[in-house]
A and B are shown apart, each in its own frame.
Chain A
């Protein structure tokens, strides 16, 4: 089954304690990205990766790190979490390039989300 998995699904931590949220996909997708979702702000992209060892900043990268050592994995690292990073986080994957074909089945896959609370 094609899927994106994230772990943990729920996490409560304290300010300053380093944490990693894992993301893994089994579809051999090139493109992976992380988003945070906050009320009234929609989804905002944190980092994205077009392929192994290629990562770029999204709109809200401050306070986060990522790595892409393998194609299937794209962990999100918070070196020193702060309360303003309390949010719902989503990982996603897709083909790197869509081409110009019309297809309703060319899906963007999202993980189930990780709800993070930093106290």
Chain B
């Protein structure tokens, strides 16, 4: 069975601190895709990244970085030098062989000024 676990329900950090959001997934498929989405207080869902199972290289985009490790079935997301605008709910998701997409329950991130 496929599963995505975001163990951190809610995190609060002070602005400019670094913060890492954890995502652990389960799948029996060898080919799959992992995603991160952001849902700001306004409610829309914003795509951040897609990673396929054959590409374990880390990715960096500005203050955002992602660490994909198949050995631990994790796809963690780090925000460096956090800003108040990063306050949102962040979702990790998995799409594997049957094309279903499973989302984690999300991590609510509060960046305190």
Contact between B102 and A112, CB atoms less than 8 A apart: no
Chain A residue contacts of B101, Cβ below 8 A: 33, 45, 48, 58
Comparing A18-26, A70-78, A100-108, the segment that makes contact with chain B is A100-108
Q: How far is the CA of A88 from the CA of B50 in the complex (A)?
A: 24
Shortest Cβ gap from A116 to chain B (Å): 14
Interface size on A, residues (CB 8 A): 29
Contact between B52 and A100, CB atoms less than 8 A apart: yes
Chain A residue contacts of B104, Cβ below 8 A: 42
Chain A residue contacts of B37, Cβ below 8 A: 108, 110
Q: How far is the CA of A13 from the CA of B93 in the complex (A)?
A: 31
Q: How far is the CA of A112 from the CA of B44 in the complex (A)?
A: 6
B31-54 interface (Cβ within 8 A of A): 33, 35, 37, 43-45, 47, 49-52, 54
Interface size class of chain B, counting residues whose CB lies under 8 Å from the partner chain: 20 to 34
Contact between B59 and A104, CB atoms less than 8 A apart: yes
Chain A residue contacts of B103, Cβ below 8 A: 35, 42-45
Q: Which of B55, B93, B101, B103 has the most CB of A within 10 A?
A: B101
Q: Can you add 17 more A-B contacts, CB < 8 Å, to A45-B101, A45-B102, A98-B50?
A: A33-B101, A35-B103, A42-B91, A45-B103, A56-B98, A92-B45, A102-B51, A102-B52, A102-B59, A103-B50, A104-B50, A108-B37, A108-B47, A109-B47, A110-B37, A110-B44, A112-B44
